Structure 1
Amino acid sequence: MNLYCDCGKELRVSDQYAGRRVRCPSCQSVLDVPETEIAIAEAIVTSRPSRQYCHEVDYEIVGDDMQMVIVELDPAETVIAEAGAMTYMEEGIHFETKMGDGSEPEQGFFGKVLSAGKRAVTGESIFMTHFTHQGQGKSHVAFAAPYPGKIIPIDLASIAGNDLLCQKDAFLCAAHGTKVTIAFNKKIGAGLFGGEGFILQKLVGDGMAFIHAGGTVIERELNNETLRVDTGCLVAFEPHIQYDIERAGNLKSMFFGGEGLFLATLRGTGRVWLQSLPFSRLAGRVLMNAGSGGKGEGSILGSLGGLIDGDNF
């Protein structure tokens, strides 16, 4: 028999579970399995339409290396965003800071606290800002990321399962109804050495979501292929892609090749988004050269090398 969870997940349940309870593998909600065929039909009818669908928003992305997304809202439409991401908003738009993304309006207080706790685990703020158009006609609100890069528009409805896995700090904004949660990396090696840790951000919905990446962004379509990338260059991937890590060649290549000890390995069929300049790499370069009077690149002696070759004179 088939059951439909409020999160939109379809579950195939064996008849031996009739009259018992099962847990949804997607959102961990507990579902009652009906005992009769009539009850099964009623459960399908009542469960399928119950989840809240995302608002339909129009958008425009402007800029080149310092991009901004301008979201167009009709009356009563809402867009959610990370705290501090807003650049400007036009007349008629009001904002409110809430605990959670608002994708589950009937969620109780403890449910909201749990959702906020999941966001805190990823290093993000437990609060999100909701921008709602309360006026007439159309109005606009714009969002930008805190460092140079590209904004990637993702239509979650075009992805099988309506969910996307991305790096922890990639989310920028999305249509109201999008669920921003977490996913655990089940591969121990990928969690320890994959660059993204054990926790990934997971976006669930059927509307537009916008994520941010550093430098230039490319989208690759894998067709039962394997792709090896630098662990920091992975931005997002569809959930049916297998994500793991492997050694970056032999010992000499690992220690002196400049590519790190491990590479991320992506296998399967689906889309993958990559970035050319991870923020961690940019920040590392800035910190490495902060307070240095000379360049120091390529010098084993660092600042002492700068003194020898005359950079500080």
Structure 2
Amino acid sequence: MMAQIPQGFSYQAVALNTTGQPVVSSPVKIRLSILEGSATGEASYVELHNPTTNNVGLFTLTIGQGVAQTGTFSGINWALTSKFLKVEIDVNNGTNYITVGSSQLLAVPYAMYAGAVIGTPGTNPGPGPVSELTQLYLYGTFNSFNATTSLPMVYTGTSFYGYKYLTAGTQLKFLTAQNATVAYGNGGGNMLAQNGSPFVVNSSGMYLIKAVASENVDGEWEYNISISNISIKVNPNYASPNYEQAMTYNANTNTFSCTFYVPDFASNDFRTIWFKLGSSSYGDNLADGSIDLGGELIHLPLGEDTYLITLNINFSGSGSPYTVTPQ
């Protein structure tokens, strides 16, 4: 018995308004076109969809099962020429479609991004090997997928990392240079793949973004992406007990802060602190008001017992400025 060719493939995306914010829990209109030969080629098939986004702006549909406007999905000759997918959207659920972009279908896509003003959606050719990387940059909806303002990740020799506060629904991709034209996304299983789908952040918070390298049995490099929501804390250098203090985030100033109390039993020798970003400890090697990974303990001014402590975390972690103000 012959297997039946499926009449459709999955499309998953986050709808964004013109300010780059997710359109949540709302119906949106999507127009999809299969173009022949090029990104400006003739449409052999056009269909409409009317999905409803979830609480982070995500929607899912099946290309091939919309309301056909031109041609039929079963009538597409996939072997004739290369095919491109054109994506248009009206986030106000009308018919004033805005073109997101057109992208070649190198393989049946697993997921692509959509929005009112962002760039060309990525297709997903599967995880596959990635060349060994010595630099990696992060960009996404937080900077409107602008490659020139992408953020350089810290390279450790076996992995890359960076810290950033991200809001729910943020989409992320990676570049190998700030002038690169090829983006890397999720090729499945959180493995980095050329033209893979965006990584989507489900909730707002401070994140540690990591790309960890490994070599497979064929000697090819693979990179696993982890995007972990972390806590930011101030840790005192007391013998006992532990007065660890969580810091809270102010979106208006992009600053973490807390009011820190030093108990009476803490001698002058122990009036020192360090910052904890997730599981990593940061001190201050130069006593210059900026933190360093694994740096020296930070000394609190004497004569007070209450302090306002602030921290502005930059993408690399190290070099982030802090203040300690007696209250």
When normalised by structure 1's length, the TM-score is: 0.27
Larger-gyration structure (1/2): 2
Bigger share in helix: 1
When normalised by structure 2's length, the TM-score is: 0.26
Higher relative contact order by CA 8 Å / sep ≥ 6: 1 or 2? 1
